[in-house]
Every structure is written in structure tokens, then in C-alpha cells.
Copies of this chain bind each other. A is one copy, B any other.
Amino acid sequence: MTLESRRPGRPKERILDRDRIAEAALAQIRSAGLSGMTMRALARRLKVSPSALYNHVPSRAAVLALLQERFAAGIDTSGFGSEPLREALSRWAWSYLTRLRERPELVPLIVAVPLAHTPYTSLVYQRVVAGFSAAHWPDESIIASLSVLETFIFGAALDSPTPEGVYEPRDPERSPLLARASAAFAATAAERGLPPGDLLFEIGLDALLTGMHQLWGATRRTRG
């Protein structure tokens, strides 16, 4: 596309910066999906020529990484150190899930570029480990507990956009057990006034934390 509104050459005032680019990229993903976040579309949205972007950002991948970092920075890790472990973990997990639900357009992005190595990650790791340690969980169980939680949160976040009713059988006559279980689950969610996805997350987190506590939390190390 040719821009008729601006002539070649450096403009009097700077049009772009990384912030504006990130903002526009988010809007673009929201309106056209990850694959619709093309450099050309981004440029169009910013009323700029595609090549202008490359003065601020080295590649499309870098734009996506920028969005990643901003996302990670929004996750609440404040519970670690100020609350009991289980509450802190729960706060962290819910915050992660909530942030991702606010921006479901980021889901494919989070998969493509895992959070594992952003600066936020190492901070969280240290805090979580300190929490387990203070609660006297055995050394060998700590990394596993952390990782298993992350895995579940990650999976839940990705599953979130799953349409409702996945568990309803197409032919209830032929799947009476599934139909009954599905109805019972829906009833519980309605009773508690929770979206099904929230109920699932709550239950899964509860099961995990309960299981981990049963396996390690109630035990003192036997060696030494």
C-alpha cells in the first residue's frame, strides 16, 4: 500500500516506538488472530509503511516476544512470602489464568514462545521454592511440585477457550452415564454460580494441592 498522506524522508516527529507497536500488535491479534498479525497489517494499522517497523523492531518474532514479556509482567506473584504457601500458589495460578483469559488472543503465542525463560520466571521459581522449603517439603519433591503446577496451569490456560458442552454426548440415549455426569457437573457449576472453566480449574488445583500435600506435605524427611 502506498501512503499518500506522508512523503518519504524522516518526519518532523517520531511516529513509532516499541510501545505503540506492541499496542497495535495486540489489537491486530485480537481482531485477526495470530496469523493475521502480519507486519503489513500492523503497519497499516499504524498508518506507516511496513519497512518503517524495522527501525524499531528486528523482526515479526521480536514483536511477539515483546507481547510475551508484557504478559508475564502482569502475573501476580505477590502472595509468595506474604501468605501461606497454598494461598500464594493459588493466587499465582489464578492470576496466570485470569490474565490469559483477558487476552485469549495470546494463547497461541504463549504456546509458540513459552514463558520459561523470561525474567519473571526465575523470580517466581525462587519464591515458590522458598515457600515449599519453609513448609518442610522434602527437597526431592519441590521441583516436581512446582513443575506439575505449572503444567496444570499451562494446560488449563490453553484449554480455556474450549467451547462449552464438549462433554455432552451427541447421543444421550447411547451414553447415559456421560449424560448424567455432564448434567451433574453443569448443575454444580450453576449452584455455585461459577463458569464451568473456573469450577474445573478450582477443582483441579484443589486435587493437585491435596495430592501433593498428602504425598509430601505431611511428611518429615526420614533420612539423616
**Which chain A residues have a beta carbon within 8 Å of chain B's beta carbons?**
108, 111-112, 114, 116-117, 122, 125-126, 129-130, 132-133, 138-148, 150-156, 158-159, 162, 166-167, 169-170, 175, 177-178, 180-182, 184-185, 187-188, 199-200, 203-204, 206-212, 214-215
Contact = CB atoms under 8 A, between A and B. Distances in A.
A132 to B, nearest CB: 8
22 contacts: A116-B162, A122-B175, A125-B178, A129-B177, A132-B181, A139-B180, A140-B185, A143-B167, A144-B200, A144-B204, A146-B167, A147-B204, A148-B200, A150-B159, A151-B204, A152-B155, A154-B159, A155-B158, A204-B208, A207-B212, A209-B211, A211-B211
A141 B147 CA distance: 25
A215 B204 contact: no
B114 A111 contact: no
A146 B169 CA distance: 14
B167 A159 contact: no
Q: Say what secondary structure dominates the interface of chain A.
A: helix
A209 to B, nearest CB: 7
Nearest to A171: B122
A59 to B, nearest CB: 14
A199 B210 CA distance: 19
A219 to B, nearest CB: 13
Contacts of A150: 155, 159
Nearest to A117: B166
Nearest to A138: B184
Nearest to A152: B152
B207 A140 contact: no
A40 B46 CA distance: 32
Contact of A111 (B111, B122, B203, B215): B111
Given A143-B185, A181-B143, A185-B143, A155 B151 contact: yes
Contacts of A145: 207
B148 A207 contact: yes
